[in-house]
Amino acid sequence: MGPRGAVRGALVLAMPLVLGAFGGCSRELPPLGEALVVVDTDLPVPAVIGRLRVDVYEGGTWRQSRDIARPDVRDWPVSFSVVAEDDGAAHEVLVRLRAYQEGATRSYRGERFQDYATVHRPDAASAPPTPGPRLVVADRDVTPVDEPLPNLAVDRLVVLRLVHGERARHTVLLSGDCAGEMARLGADATVPDPSGATTCRDGARAPVDGGTVDATLETPRTTRAGTFHGAACPPEATTADTVCVPGGAFVLGSRYVDFSPVEPPSPERIVATSRFRVDRHEVTVARMRAARARGFRGEPTASEGTMPTTPLEACPWSREPRGREGYAVACVGFELARGFCESEGGRLPTEAEWERVASATGARKTRYPAGDAEPSCDEAVYGRVELAGAPGICARGRPRGPVPVFSEDGVGLQETDVSPLGVVGLAGGLGEWTSDDYAPYGSAPWSGVSRVDPRVEVGSGAKKASRGASWVAPLLYLRATTRQETDRGAIFGALGIRCVYPAP
């Protein structure tokens, strides 16, 4: 960084002195019962969490609702006070805290107290709404028109007991352990009631408590944002061949796909992947040959002679080298792909791992591996062959068929199709096998899946999920969230291998 290093950090932005007025610090208040609530999250801000919804209930009635944007990680933890009216009585207050992603809301229709599984039925929107509570202030119905999407929120209830003249601090962590678990406001879904309410805490449903309670009224200045399974990568874990992917949480899927040639990747969910390493490039013919020389017994379908350029037959592998050693190896079934990765000391990635590498290692999830912009025909290898009678959108003026990963002298040829971490060929090139069985996100196999390192098995696993578009695909397939249902035994020239490995 040179001489600039000395200057960096020399300036700070601070806000002017306007703090006198806020809750926890207003010492001029009469001796009301007061609770300072300090809310933090361990999920990444702003990629996963950007807003906080606070609802306050007392005596079975909804008293207040606030919804605030906290897109800057320095604004966490968020704190506020709840103060009892000066009537000398003790108050029991139920506070619902929901940290959620910016823009992840739905209309409020009163389903808020149903179970996660119920809400995630594919036809849930058609279910008759249960009448939820309404927020009425001064005889006006001011119920918020929307509420956080349950699957993209961490939802937590706390109960505060406000006693005249006493103050307490309640510290609450909205953890990724509880992502997508809706709170239940009371035994009767329509009446808030602390004794019947349940909420997710430390990953399990539990009666409502007050968070961590102590007597100090100070607000901590450090946040745990981003620490949920947030294992960093040591520098040496990334090499020329493999890239280390830090552990962390992200939103799997996308609610913004309107035109999908396949099942849309929704509903979304918050998941985390542990730290792992991934091949920087798809497995090449040369690498397959080297593995076989070391004793790997599988063999891809070969093209002897000139390689055809039709999707089904473009198999770069040949029994003897034929000048195609730099191509990504294709025409491999699932078993062969899995066996190859295992022989290399790794395994196939899960769908979640693949999507994290391809879209969610930066500050914000992107639509394509390299960013939000559609890759041009020069930036990624796709649309290189006519499909269903339509000319390949990138075929004009370019050779038909797949493009090698490396030239004969080892120069990378797809290096513009690159993720922020430097993983190449995720958008185009070849599709890639994952270890997961295919099931729609809205279906049963996904609803019970672990939030951390989710894996999906469906029966005998006849249908696998493959990810990533290929030289055959039109543009719509290139989005990082696109999932393809692929026969376990499928062997064709658009599907190859990328392995993942344990991180050191």
Q: Give the span between the Cα atoms of 184 and 51, in whole angstroms.
A: 21
**Candidate list 137, 232, 444, 462; residue touching another protein; CB under 8 A:** 137
Q: Tell me which H or E stretch contains 161.
A: strand 153-162
Q: Is 454 in the site for another protein (CB under 8 A)?
A: no
In whole angstroms, the minimum distance from the beta carbon of 112 to another protein comes to: 13
Q: Of 62-70, 186-194, 227-235, 347-355, which segment contacts another protein by CB under 8 A?
A: 62-70
Residues 361-420 within binding reach of another protein (CB under 8 A): 364
How many other C-beta atoms can be found within 10 angstroms of the C-beta atom of residue 408? 10
**Candidate list 82, 185, 331, 348; residue touching another protein; CB under 8 A:** 82
**Candidate list 2, 3, 18, 399; residue touching another protein; CB under 8 A:** 18
In whole angstroms, the minimum distance from the beta carbon of 2 to another protein comes to: 12
Q: Is 15 in the site for another protein (CB under 8 A)?
A: yes
Residues 308-347 within binding reach of another protein (CB under 8 A): none
Q: Give the span between the Cα atoms of 315 and 313, in whole angstroms.
A: 6
Would you list the DSSP string of 24-62?
GG-TTS-S--EEEEEEEESS-TTTT--EEEEEEEETTEE
Cβ–Cβ under 8 Å, residues 383 and 377: yes
- Phi, psi (degrees; rounded to nearest 5) at 124: -55, -35
Q: Is 6 in the site for another protein (CB under 8 A)?
A: yes
Report residue 467 as tokens.
């990810």
**Candidate list 176, 264, 392, 431; residue touching another protein; CB under 8 A:** 264
In whole angstroms, the minimum distance from the beta carbon of 232 to another protein comes to: 18
The helix/strand/coil state of 172 is strand
Q: Is 472 exposed, middle or buried (0-12, 13-18, 19+ CB in 10 A)?
A: buried
If we measure between CA atoms, which residue out of 383, 469, 387 comes closest to residue 425?
469
| Sequence letter at residue 406 | F
In whole angstroms, the minimum distance from the beta carbon of 73 to another protein comes to: 10
If we measure between CA atoms, which residue out of 346, 352, 349, 501 comes closest to residue 432?
349
Q: Is the dihedral of CA 119, 70, 156, 253 positive or negative?
A: positive
Q: Is 124 in the site for another protein (CB under 8 A)?
A: yes
- What Å distances lie between residue 414 and 53, 128, 267, 375, CA to CA? 44, 51, 32, 12
Would you list the DSSP string of 335-353?
HHHHHHHHHTT-BPPPHHH
If we measure between CA atoms, which residue out of 212, 254, 272, 196 comes closest to residue 77?
212
Q: Is 240 in the site for another protein (CB under 8 A)?
A: no
Q: Is 481 in the site for another protein (CB under 8 A)?
A: no
Residue closer to another protein by CB (options 221, 319) is 221
In whole angstroms, the minimum distance from the beta carbon of 445 to another protein comes to: 17
Q: Is 486 in the site for another protein (CB under 8 A)?
A: no
Residue closer to another protein by CB (options 100, 471) is 100
- The DSSP bridge pattern shows strands 34-41 and 167-174 to be parallel
Q: Of 77-85, 283-291, 387-395, 398-406, which segment contacts another protein by CB under 8 A?
A: 77-85
Residue closer to another protein by CB (options 131, 323) is 131
If we measure between CA atoms, which residue out of 195, 199, 223, 221 comes closest to residue 211?
199
Residue closer to another protein by CB (options 313, 485) is 485
Q: Is the dihedral of CA 126, 129, 135, 139 positive or negative?
A: positive
**Candidate list 117, 130, 142, 489; residue touching another protein; CB under 8 A:** 142
**Candidate list 256, 299, 373, 407; residue touching another protein; CB under 8 A:** 256
**Candidate list 31, 88, 107, 408; residue touching another protein; CB under 8 A:** 107
Residues 21-50 within binding reach of another protein (CB under 8 A): 21-26, 29, 34, 50
Q: Of 141-149, 239-247, 296-304, 416-424, which segment contacts another protein by CB under 8 A?
A: 141-149
Q: Find the length of the chain.
A: 504
Residues binding another protein: what is the number (CB under 8 A)?
92
Residue closer to another protein by CB (options 303, 484) is 484
Q: Of 76-84, 299-307, 330-338, 346-354, which segment contacts another protein by CB under 8 A?
A: 76-84
In whole angstroms, the minimum distance from the beta carbon of 211 to another protein comes to: 16
Q: Is 293 in the site for another protein (CB under 8 A)?
A: no
Residue closer to another protein by CB (options 127, 290) is 127
The helix/strand/coil state of 309 is coil
Q: Is 215 in the site for another protein (CB under 8 A)?
A: no
Q: Is 236 in the site for another protein (CB under 8 A)?
A: no
